[in-house]
Structure 1
Amino acid sequence: MWSIGELAEHAGVSVKTVRFYSDRGLLPETARSSGGHRRYGPEARDRLHLIRSLRTLDLPVPDVGRVLDEEDALEDVIEGQLRALGSQLAALRWREAALRVLRDCTAEERAERLRLVGAVTAPPSTEALARFWRRWLPPRLPARLVSSFLEQTVPQPPEDPDPAQVLAFARLHAFVSRPCVGNERGQPAVHRPDEGYRPAVLYDGLAEAYALAAPALRAGRPPDTGDALDCFVAAYARSRGARDTAAFRHRLVGMLAADPRIDHYWQLVAELAGPAYPTPGAAHDWLLAALDGDIAGSPARRT
């Protein structure tokens, strides 16, 4: 049996270290001397070495206790630490790029950029963007459609951003955080009940139309007729209880031309996500141009 000083000597640590882990229950004593002093068996040295190894990896004391007391706990603790480190590294990369945003600009730009990047956490949260679209979407839209819509419209910040992406996200965050955005005055006609549209039917169809248009956008092909445009028009027609006719397409062009636009949002998303990600805004514009081209030589008629 070893005293606390003898255990410290055998393990190559200080008495203070042994007492610290003993007081926290990680290194239980085997017995007490007649004078009430702690006594440890040789197995305490191996346990102390294991504790020190785990602490060298910067594991918190509670996690060290789990590894010592629970079988197979080490794997769970390691996974938890890797997730935490991933978040910390993402925050550091974001902070580095944000500092470069401030360094690589003129003195006149610095105050505005500081205001923009200073309003964004590191790593950044997309909650403000999701909140913006939830306000903008029509009420009582099924949760499935809302979730699918947010997945397409809310870009995820890159894990290793460059300064331009940090600035684009900061401007995007500022844009959606302005007061009075997303109210009924900024919504398209299809969101208003008095217009007679069924928004749930529309958004289901638009998601499919945007997906069909995405390959053409990635390939840089000009707007043209085809399945994507037919799906796009059919979504509006079904939501109105109408048929896809030449006359309906002519009316649809006029209605969509009068709708409010959020072009600035999509421009910033494109800067953030890059050309490989065709935004819903870009798909919508491509389909509108295709519709314009389709009706240019087609007279309005009822069929």
Structure 2
Amino acid sequence: MFSSWDGLCGIGEVARRAGVSVKTVRFYTDHGLLPEASRSSGGHRRYGPDALERLRLIRSLRTLGLPVATVRRVLDDDDAGRTGGVLEDAVAGQLAEAGSQLAALRWREAALRAVQESPPSERPVRLLLVGAVAAPPNTAPLARFWRAWLPPRMPARSVGAFLDAAVPQPPEDPGPAQVLAFARLYAMVTGPCDGGAPTQPHAHRSAGARESAVLYAGLAEAYDLAAVQMRRGREPHAGEALEGFVDAYARAGDVADTPGFRRALAGRLAADPRIDRYWELTAELISTHADRPEPTPGTAHDWLLAALESEAGMGAAVRRG
């Protein structure tokens, strides 16, 4: 309650008690957020006892970053006696925006460190490399790269599952090396010379929609099983992962799994185009320990192919032909 005879007070007293400027009170009043109770005979604004509490609420909402239009909706909700649905949504939206801004700042900091820590002679090139990537980075170019590589008739669900595995998500708190790895991936898939998708593997080209779904679903399971062995430091060997790997190709081609089929498959896969650099950079991006690279679909494929070649009695020289 104000001490004046009519229980009202002027704009200066409201501003002083709320800890804001007179200009701020006038702004909120002019925008309909803080109603004035009346005007004095001299035309000065007068405010009622509830103005101070309302002004403090407005200031708190604005301090949290809510725009004026959202503040108005929150106040309207409160005036109507509703239980804060607008406020909850507004706070959730601000949290999401703050998280995005923090992610961008963390990425930008790591990018700056990547430039700062490079030898002076390399800084201009590295600056252009990391500067081409948005903060936080966008993985859409990587997804487009793989969509162009996958069989055109592959079911959407299978495409989505493959992209989830093949497109690495940038870490929320990256280090300089991870920023560089993503920047190099980005340059690889968007460059004018090498930006096109790699040639489709010969072992996959004849697959139709159903066969593609069968093949890629089976490969995903085999890669997961191989990854378990790789994290344990196991060398390529026969076992459940290899059986699933071969079975995926046999079922997709509707052929029997025989020793002859396995030898032929090993030969076809060894001769297929390779994109090792993509998987090397992916491992750098997603690995948290430099001495223990995280398996990727590409490295899991190599591990399984080595196991298949060993089982078929083929030398490692065949793989890199």
TM, length-normalised to structure 1: 0.90
Tell me, yes or no, if structure 1 residue 244 matches structure 2 residue 244: no
Q: Is residue 190–residue 197 contact of structure 1 (8 Å, CA) maintained in 2?
A: no
Q: 1:293 to 1:63 in 2, by over 3 A?
A: same
| Mapping for residues 1-303 of structure 1, pairs under 5 Å | 1-33=8-40, 37-70=44-77, 71-72=83-84, 73-179=86-192, 181-183=195-197, 186-193=199-206, 198-274=211-287, 275=292, 277-296=294-313
Percent identity of paired positions between Structure 1 and Structure 2: 63
Unpaired runs of 5+ in structure 1?
A: 298-303
Q: Is residue 207–residue 252 contact of structure 2 (8 Å, CA) maintained in 1?
A: no
Structure 1 stretch displaced more, 164-173 or 80-89:
80-89
Matched AA of 2:157: R
Q: 1:8 to 1:194 in 2, by over 3 A?
A: closer
- Taking the aligned partners of 1:177 and 1:285, their CA distance within structure 2 comes to 25
| Alpha-carbon distance, 1:189 to partner | 1.2
- Taking the aligned partners of 2:36 and 2:270, their CA distance within structure 1 comes to 80
Matched AA of 1:21: Y
- Taking the aligned partners of 1:262 and 1:117, their CA distance within structure 2 comes to 22
- Taking the aligned partners of 2:220 and 2:209, their CA distance within structure 1 comes to 20
Runs of 4+ off more than 6 Å:
194-197
Deviations 1:139-175, CA, capped at 9 Å, x for gaps:
0211111111011011111111111111111001101
Number of residue pairs matched by the alignment: 296
Q: 1:32 to 1:140 in 2, by over 3 A?
A: farther
Q: 1:3 to 1:269 in 2, by over 3 A?
A: same
- Taking the aligned partners of 1:259 and 1:195, their CA distance within structure 2 comes to 19
Deviations 1:250-286, CA, capped at 9 Å, x for gaps:
1101111111011000000011111463100011001
| Alpha-carbon distance, 1:12 to partner | 4.3
- Taking the aligned partners of 2:72 and 2:17, their CA distance within structure 1 comes to 22
TM, length-normalised to structure 2: 0.86
Q: 1:15 to 1:156 in 2, by over 3 A?
A: same
- Taking the aligned partners of 1:250 and 1:197, their CA distance within structure 2 comes to 25
| Alpha-carbon distance, 1:198 to partner | 2.9
- Taking the aligned partners of 1:218 and 1:91, their CA distance within structure 2 comes to 31
Provide the alpha-carbon RMSD of the alignment: 2.2
Q: Is residue 234–residue 243 contact of structure 1 (8 Å, CA) maintained in 2?
A: no
Q: 1:31 to 1:92 in 2, by over 3 A?
A: same
- Taking the aligned partners of 2:280 and 2:137, their CA distance within structure 1 comes to 19
- Taking the aligned partners of 1:76 and 1:142, their CA distance within structure 2 comes to 36
Matched AA of 1:123: P
Q: 1:181 to 1:18 in 2, by over 3 A?
A: closer
Q: 1:55 to 1:248 in 2, by over 3 A?
A: same
